[in-house]
Structure 1
Amino acid sequence: MVAPPDNDVLWAHALHFQHNDGSPALQGVSVGVREREILAVSGPRGSGKTALLGCLSGLVRPQRGEVWFNSVPLHTMGPISRERLRRDRFGWIDPAPVLVPELNAWENAALPLMLRGTPRRRARQLALDWLERLDIGDGARRRPQELRQAERQRVCIARALAVAPSVLFADEPTAPLHRADRAHVLRTLTTAARSHGITVVLATHDAETAALADRTVALLDGRRVKTVHLPPVAETTTASGAAGTEGRAACSLSA
């Protein structure tokens, strides 16, 4: 076991993780994330970005390797302890919006706060504040099925920010958004993270998104690499508002 550096809020050493079919997702990846840092994890689809975020957040346990949060070993925690840590200290944004269909937008955004014991009135106000910042305040009383996919994703982002997590894990958080929407939402997310002292680990295959981070870690085929040159995502609008095609990535392996 290797002691994590004192200045890293998250630290992972020699992570190995396999998919259910046995194919490798991570092959010896090590990474450190400093407090209040916005770290982009870049690479093409299938490079291991989601697997790395899952291991760092305690969502999954690596087959081998270590993960530490504030000098606490996540890799030795049981499932209940990891679930409690994710609820109390972490936030998560998926690439596609996942909301409770029976709840309206503000109730969805406030749900994690109320699960933590925040009074309903206070949770509602915090949720409404974030929905307003993300330009979805006028849909606060609508249910998810009454919102467009891009609007639902904004609700998910508001939900993740409203709890003021110590670390926010964002897995392609603006994938369902149009290019103009992506820029606004990313500015809101990064500004909020910096003003509230939130550490962000952001997975992306978009060079423009990665450029907003303080630092970038590149992955390819489950390994750390020195560089992955990703072209900006080409805009291809669909009915849901999702966009994007990928170019080929040029890379060089880390020493």
Structure 2
Amino acid sequence: MEAPPDNDVLWAHALRFQHHDGSPALQGVSLGVHEGEILAVTGPRGSGKTTLLRCLSGLTRPQDGEVWFNSVPVHTMGPLRRERLRRDRFGWIDPTPVLVPELTVWENAALPLMLRRTGRRRAKTAALEWLERLDVGDKARRRPHELQQAERQRVCIARALAVAPAVLFADEPTAPLHRADRAHVLRTLTSAARSHGITVVLATHDAQTAALADRTVALLDGRRVKTVHLPPATETETERTPGAADTSGTEGRAACSLSA
């Protein structure tokens, strides 16, 4: 077992994971993420980006390899400790919005804070602040079914930022948004991360989104590569069916070279 570098808030070594059908998702991926850094994990669909984020965040336990957070081994933790770590230190944004239908918009945004036993008034204030910054403050008392999909995604992003996580994992966070909305939301997300010292690990297959990061790590077929040329996302891509299965492992591939 290797000791992680002192300046890496997240560190992974030789991660391997296979899907239930035996197809490889990660094949020996190693990386480090510096504190306060915005790191983009890029690659075409099916390259292993989501699996890598899930392993780094403790949502999925790698079948081999190590994951460390602030020099604490995540890969040896049991399910309860990993759940507590995710609740207390991490934030997560899915590519499609998932909200509690019985709660109002502000209650959804404040829910992780209240689960941390933050007082209701303080949790509501933090939630409303981020809802306003993401231009859905006027929807605070509505229910999720009254919102458009893009508005629901903004609420999910506000929910992730309201807890001021040490690390925010964002898996294609602007996938449901139209091009005009995407730029504003990404600016809000990146400026919030920098002003609050939040480390961000961002998975994307969009070159314009990746360009906002401090550094880029490219994946192809579950391996780190030196270069993957990504085309900008089209409007059609941003409107694809939520939750649709993604099996196009080579879609969008233009050029790549394997890491040494």
Normalised by the length of structure 2, the TM-score is 0.95
Between the aligned partners of 1:174 and 1:111, the Cα distance in structure 2 is 21
What residue number does 1:228 align with?
A: 228
What residue number does 2:167 align with?
A: 167
What residue number does 1:213 align with?
A: 213
Between the aligned partners of 1:240 and 1:58, the Cα distance in structure 2 is 27
What is the DSSP-based 3-state SS (H/G/I as helix, E as strand, rest coil) of the residue aligned with 1:54?
A: helix
- AA aligned to 1:189 is L
Instruction: Give the alignment's Cα RMSD to 1 decimal.
Output: 1.6
2:10 is the alignment partner of 1:10: yes
What residue number does 1:107 align with?
A: 107
Unpaired runs of 5+ residues, structure 2, are none
Between the aligned partners of 2:253 and 2:71, the Cα distance in structure 1 is 38
Q: Quote how far apart the aligned CAs of 1:247 are.
A: 3.2
Between the aligned partners of 1:238 and 1:59, the Cα distance in structure 2 is 27
What is the DSSP-based 3-state SS (H/G/I as helix, E as strand, rest coil) of the residue aligned with 2:33?
A: strand
Between the aligned partners of 1:177 and 1:128, the Cα distance in structure 2 is 21
Between the aligned partners of 1:240 and 1:81, the Cα distance in structure 2 is 34
- Of the structure 1 ranges 69-78 and 18-27, higher mean CA displacement relative to structure 2 is found in 18-27
2:138 is the alignment partner of 1:138: yes
Q: Quote how far apart the aligned CAs of 1:133 are.
A: 0.1
- Of the structure 1 ranges 227-236 and 179-188, higher mean CA displacement relative to structure 2 is found in 227-236
Q: How does 1:157-196 map to 2 (within 5 A)?
A: 157-196=157-196
What residue number does 2:61 align with?
A: 61
What residue number does 1:84 align with?
A: 84
Q: Quote how far apart the aligned CAs of 1:240 are.
A: 7.9
Q: Quote how far apart the aligned CAs of 1:241 are.
A: 10
What is the DSSP-based 3-state SS (H/G/I as helix, E as strand, rest coil) of the residue aligned with 1:75?
A: coil
What residue number does 1:124 align with?
A: 124
- Of the structure 1 ranges 81-90 and 226-235, higher mean CA displacement relative to structure 2 is found in 226-235
What residue number does 2:152 align with?
A: 152
Alpha-carbon contact 2:177-2:239 (below 8 Å) kept: no
Given the alignment, which residue of 240, 244, 249 partners 2:254?
249
Between the aligned partners of 1:83 and 1:62, the Cα distance in structure 2 is 15
Q: How does 1:41-60 map to 2 (within 5 A)?
A: 41-60=41-60
Alpha-carbon contact 2:176-2:239 (below 8 Å) kept: no
Normalised by the length of structure 1, the TM-score is 0.96
Between the aligned partners of 2:239 and 2:86, the Cα distance in structure 1 is 33
Identity of aligned residues (%): 85
Alpha-carbon contact 2:210-2:216 (below 8 Å) kept: yes
What is the DSSP-based 3-state SS (H/G/I as helix, E as strand, rest coil) of the residue aligned with 1:135?
A: coil
Between the aligned partners of 1:19 and 1:157, the Cα distance in structure 2 is 28
Alpha-carbon contact 1:177-1:241 (below 8 Å) kept: no
Q: Quote how far apart the aligned CAs of 1:195 are.
A: 0.2
Between the aligned partners of 2:239 and 2:78, the Cα distance in structure 1 is 42
Between the aligned partners of 2:165 and 2:258, the Cα distance in structure 1 is 33
Between the aligned partners of 2:85 and 2:242, the Cα distance in structure 1 is 33
Q: Deviations over 1:23-69 (max 9, x none)?
A: 11000000000000000000000000000000000001100000000
- AA aligned to 1:216 is T
Distance 1:83 1:238, change over 3 A: closer
- AA aligned to 1:84 is R
Distance 1:102 1:214, change over 3 A: same
Alpha-carbon contact 1:109-1:155 (below 8 Å) kept: yes
What is the DSSP-based 3-state SS (H/G/I as helix, E as strand, rest coil) of the residue aligned with 2:232?
A: coil
